[in-house]
Amino acid sequence: MRPAVFLDRDDTLMEANSLPAPPPPAAPGDVIDPALVRLLPGAREACAALKRAGFALVVVSNQGSVARGGATTAQVDRVNARLASLLGDSVIDAFYYCPFHPRGNVPAFTMEHPWRKPSPGMILAAAEDLSLVLARSWLVGDAGRDIQAGIAAGIDPSRCLRVGPAMSITQAMETILGSARH
Catalytically annotated residues: 8, 10
Residues contacting residue 134 through CB under 8 Å, at least 6 positions apart: 123, 127, 153, 154, 155
∠ Cα 175 178 180 (to 5°): 110
Q: What is the pairing mode between strands 138-141 and 94-98?
A: unpaired
How many other C-beta atoms lie within 10 A of the C-beta of residue 172? 23
- Residue 145 has φ and ψ, to the nearest 5°, of -65, -30
Number of Cβ within 10 Å of residue 171's Cβ equals 14
Cα separation, 74 vs 55, whole angstroms: 28
DSSP state of 1: -
